[in-house]
Chain A
């Protein structure tokens, strides 16, 4: 007899959402967590960083109060208080998850899980904090163990918790480093660069690819770089950190680009050079689960190929985003329960957001990708300077770019940079999911005065019908 219909391993945004959906569908469900409910997202990722970035944003406005006709004698910050606020937000949400588990009658099993061969699904044995091991049987098991920061020990690119940080240490600083090196310019690298830059650090970002935010549209990358450079962040693109050497509480980095090598001495280093899946210690090899480049291979419903075993979220690969994990979790559970509206996951409809200043948000294909896929395209662009609300907000720098298939009118991609775009992007995500064409979007009424009007104008621009330009 199985103890549960479903056991979810990992309680991040993928795991706990999957568990709730399973409970809604009538499955007897348990969730295993080794550390804190909510996983990285709630405790060490999305949410606490947003709290930090909010503090940085408010500080930015306070220092620039004159711009709004306001007088603030001396804006400043108390780093401990900023961090404390961030931790408080994380704690509040983590206990929120605990409440959600209780409300949905999901058993929470604290401890480290390993899997053993079993039928109809692998057997889950959990080693609790007290060292005791219990075995649980379920009809289905979902792996949602997430991922962690990548390290390259050979080049000294290995976190030490002191001078060389990952996101985790970067989130709870004791003091702001005078000079900071961020290695990697993806969303995580850029957010920390933006945060520490606002707090007054001298920030340098090194990126191996020839532009920052490499997954974004090239035009957005270029726009973002200009904005960040204006704020004082320095960039080395097409460059690599060959080695990190620690001495006297400082770190010296060898940054090479082409045939040049440059030495840079900094106080702290943040590693943001990618993500590796948490595949170890679960007994995946013995079960025959296919793992490629630290990620578990799955199909659109999260099936691993091992009977009764599924995987979702960061563990299954890019994009490494909480909302992707949650959505996959729901798809996976609906597939298991045979829900009527179960449908496979489509990575092209997952929006990506970077909460730096300015914000960056996108969905679908970049212009280069659209061309490469053989589409004849129409591109629309609208700058923030043409939008009344943006000017009133004092945030007139930004861009909304849309890419349509010239023939079918399909919204292939949307790319935005500027104030609040992370809140706006979802309008375009709905358009993609609902397969709306440029026509429907042009017929849609956007409220005035809002930033969202730029989304309309960008679509109009793609058809040569822009109004306020």
Chain B
């Protein structure tokens, strides 16, 4: 029997992904565990392993297809003894419903698959009440079959063959729950309903939701007046949240730039940072920290370390941050819809700049790990981050972030909080500065400036300051990290 290979969910929240590459082609024999394809999500590229064995009968979704819905059929596998050529695949539709597709292939003979699958029929009947745009021919057909309940299925199947419109109605797009008015306004204003959250009964999208997704006409009109320059109404942003600038030919000559479409990572970064910047009341605290002792310790440690272990300053700052979070547990906190989550462990997210964006792999339970472990894990995570090979669980679940731009000579800066974390530490460059000591002597010292951005909903100025004091103590007295 033919087996459908479906789009896997790489994380609990994943809804769609890009089918980046096929590692197999029709006719290839595969066995369980073989890598058959690469899937790209917003932040990572992951390999898809085969679960069953057999011969690839058909590739349903071409490589490079974006927005492939989780659970939709991406390929069909012929089992042993089956002729792959006899296996017909379902249409390449990027919609859900493939989970139902299984019974279709199990219950029916392979030839049956030539006709539209059962799952699709089901959808068509589910959609009946919403099918306001259907062609008149369609509705006539349906009225006709109403009194003939028993034969209804066959008739419907026939109709599906002859009436392409009916099949269209069942496509995934129509599954969105929205009021007729919300649909109409969304269509008029070119708003993607699938990107909106409904506030009506059972998540139904209503007029207010669509209107909230876009500045009102009046607002746009008054802006127009104010600037006195004709401007296009901004289209809804890809994520339905941010409203990017309209790319206007009168401002930038189309010849004068190269346009790069937004990829998943860029969209995610843009959405998350905008969200954080707009929603979280950020406040910065900064402090100067003497680095001489830490640098000396690091040199010492590296000299004594076994082959292959080389601790970086950043590794030590990760450790110091984790220990500071343990001594100031009020700061290891997330503001959530249900309340403030005080984390029991320090999972440190480290910002890594990669081609095309930014990612924050997480060192878990950093307070319990030795410097060698932190260093080894960090190297591995950073390498795989650059290759976009991180698994979702490797870049989520952090409780605190560090961003270090010291290597670029930046003196100090303030980062945007990586929600739902409560704080992010921005580390500037260590540099020689003239420092006045307690005896009023001016002496040279290596000093760095760090800035702690805090979410004021969870962390007060005093808590943030206490955390910085603890952090400073660990960095200026690195041996205390051994305690």
How far apart are the CA atoms of A437 and B180 in the complex, in Å?
6
Q: Which among B132, B179, B218 is the interface contact of A435 at CB below 8 angstroms?
A: B179
CB distance A435 to B201 under 8 Å?
no
CB distance B206 to A435 under 8 Å?
yes
Nearest-CB residue, chain A, relative to B139: A443
How far apart are the CA atoms of A91 and B207 in the complex, in Å?
43
How far apart are the CA atoms of A341 and B198 in the complex, in Å?
12
B188 within 8 A of partner (CB): yes
Nearest-CB residue, chain B, relative to A432: B181
Residue-wise interface mask of B (176-210) relative to A, using a CB-CB cutoff of 8 A (1 in contact, 0 not):
00011110110010000000000101000011000
CB distance A409 to B184 under 8 Å?
yes
Nearest-CB residue, chain A, relative to B205: A435
A-B CB contact pairs (8 Å), 7 listed: A407-B188, A408-B181, A408-B184, A409-B180, A435-B182, A440-B132, A440-B180
The A331-360 residues at the B interface (CB cut-off 8 A) are 341, 343
CB distance B179 to A434 under 8 Å?
yes
- Determine how close the nearest CB of chain A comes to the CB of B130; give it in whole angstroms: 10
**Interface residues of A, Cβ cutoff 8 Å to B:** 341, 343, 374, 407-410, 434-437, 439-440, 443
Nearest-CB residue, chain B, relative to A407: B188
A443: which B residues are within 8 A, CB to CB? 132
CB distance B180 to A341 under 8 Å?
no
A434: which B residues are within 8 A, CB to CB? 179
How far apart are the CA atoms of A312 and B184 in the complex, in Å?
34
How far apart are the CA atoms of A407 and B217 in the complex, in Å?
13
Number of interface residues of B (CB under 8 A): 13
CB distance B132 to A439 under 8 Å?
yes
CB distance A409 to B181 under 8 Å?
yes
CB distance A437 to B184 under 8 Å?
yes
A409: which B residues are within 8 A, CB to CB? 180-181, 184
CB distance A408 to B188 under 8 Å?
yes
Q: Which among B181, B185, B188, B218 is the interface contact of A436 at CB below 8 angstroms?
A: B181
- Determine how close the nearest CB of chain B comes to the CB of A99; give it in whole angstroms: 31
How far apart are the CA atoms of A435 and B206 in the complex, in Å?
7
Known contacts A341-B201, A435-B207; is A410 also within 8 Å of B132 by CB?
no
- Determine how close the nearest CB of chain B comes to the CB of A335; give it in whole angstroms: 15
- Determine how close the nearest CB of chain B comes to the CB of A348; give it in whole angstroms: 11
The B105-133 residues at the A interface (CB cut-off 8 A) are 132
Dominant secondary structure of chain A at its interface with chain B: loop
How far apart are the CA atoms of A384 and B439 in the complex, in Å?
101
Nearest-CB residue, chain B, relative to A409: B184
How far apart are the CA atoms of A181 and B179 in the complex, in Å?
48
B199: which A residues are within 8 A, CB to CB? 343
Residue-wise interface mask of B (150-185) relative to A, using a CB-CB cutoff of 8 A (1 in contact, 0 not):
000000000000000000000000000001111011
A407: which B residues are within 8 A, CB to CB? 188
A437: which B residues are within 8 A, CB to CB? 180-181, 184
Nearest-CB residue, chain B, relative to A434: B179
B184: which A residues are within 8 A, CB to CB? 408-410, 437
Nearest-CB residue, chain B, relative to A410: B181
B180: which A residues are within 8 A, CB to CB? 409, 435-437, 439-440
Residue-wise interface mask of B (18-36) relative to A, using a CB-CB cutoff of 8 A (1 in contact, 0 not):
0000000000000000000
Q: Which of B179, B180, B184, B188 has the most CB of A within 10 A?
A: B180
A341: which B residues are within 8 A, CB to CB? 201
**Interchain residue pairs A-B with the least CB separation, the first 7:** A435-B179, A435-B181, A437-B180, A440-B180, A408-B184, A410-B181, A408-B185
- Determine how close the nearest CB of chain A comes to the CB of B423; give it in whole angstroms: 31
B181: which A residues are within 8 A, CB to CB? 408-410, 435-437
Q: Which of A341, A374, A409, A443 has the most CB of B within 10 A?
A: A409
- Determine how close the nearest CB of chain A comes to the CB of B214; give it in whole angstroms: 13
B218: which A residues are within 8 A, CB to CB? 374
CB distance A436 to B132 under 8 Å?
no
B201: which A residues are within 8 A, CB to CB? 341
- Determine how close the nearest CB of chain B comes to the CB of A240; give it in whole angstroms: 37
How far apart are the CA atoms of A246 and B327 in the complex, in Å?
86
How far apart are the CA atoms of A437 and B185 in the complex, in Å?
11
B207: which A residues are within 8 A, CB to CB? 410, 435
Nearest-CB residue, chain B, relative to A442: B132
Nearest-CB residue, chain B, relative to A439: B132
Nearest-CB residue, chain A, relative to B199: A343
How far apart are the CA atoms of A440 and B129 in the complex, in Å?
10
- Determine how close the nearest CB of chain A comes to the CB of B278; give it in whole angstroms: 24
Q: Which among A343, A374, A436 is the interface contact of B179 at CB below 8 angstroms?
A: A436
Nearest-CB residue, chain A, relative to B206: A435
The B215-230 residues at the A interface (CB cut-off 8 A) are 218
Q: List 10 other contacts, CB 8 Å, given A374-B218, A409-B184, A439-B180.
A: A341-B201, A408-B184, A408-B185, A409-B180, A410-B184, A410-B207, A435-B207, A436-B179, A440-B132, A440-B180
- Determine how close the nearest CB of chain A comes to the CB of B155; give it in whole angstroms: 22
B132: which A residues are within 8 A, CB to CB? 439-440, 443
How far apart are the CA atoms of A437 and B181 in the complex, in Å?
6
How far apart are the CA atoms of A410 and B132 in the complex, in Å?
16
How far apart are the CA atoms of A343 and B218 in the complex, in Å?
26
- Determine how close the nearest CB of chain B comes to the CB of A428; give it in whole angstroms: 14
How far apart are the CA atoms of A177 and B184 in the complex, in Å?
56
How far apart are the CA atoms of A341 and B185 in the complex, in Å?
24
How far apart are the CA atoms of A410 and B211 in the complex, in Å?
13
B188: which A residues are within 8 A, CB to CB? 407-408
- Determine how close the nearest CB of chain B comes to the CB of A44; give it in whole angstroms: 36
Q: Which of B132, B184, B201 has the most CB of A within 10 A?
A: B184
Residue-wise interface mask of B (322-359) relative to A, using a CB-CB cutoff of 8 A (1 in contact, 0 not):
00000000000000000000000000000000000000
How far apart are the CA atoms of A341 and B206 in the complex, in Å?
14
- Determine how close the nearest CB of chain A comes to the CB of B69; give it in whole angstroms: 27
How far apart are the CA atoms of A386 and B132 in the complex, in Å?
28
How far apart are the CA atoms of A341 and B199 in the complex, in Å?
9
The B337-392 residues at the A interface (CB cut-off 8 A) are none
Residue-wise interface mask of B (291-306) relative to A, using a CB-CB cutoff of 8 A (1 in contact, 0 not):
0000000000000000
How far apart are the CA atoms of A218 and B181 in the complex, in Å?
27
- Determine how close the nearest CB of chain A comes to the CB of B453; give it in whole angstroms: 33
How far apart are the CA atoms of A343 and B200 in the complex, in Å?
9
Nearest-CB residue, chain A, relative to B182: A435
- Determine how close the nearest CB of chain A comes to the CB of B189; give it in whole angstroms: 10
Nearest-CB residue, chain A, relative to B201: A341
- Determine how close the nearest CB of chain A comes to the CB of B435; give it in whole angstroms: 53
How far apart are the CA atoms of A435 and B199 in the complex, in Å?
13
A410: which B residues are within 8 A, CB to CB? 181, 184, 207
- Determine how close the nearest CB of chain A comes to the CB of B136; give it in whole angstroms: 12
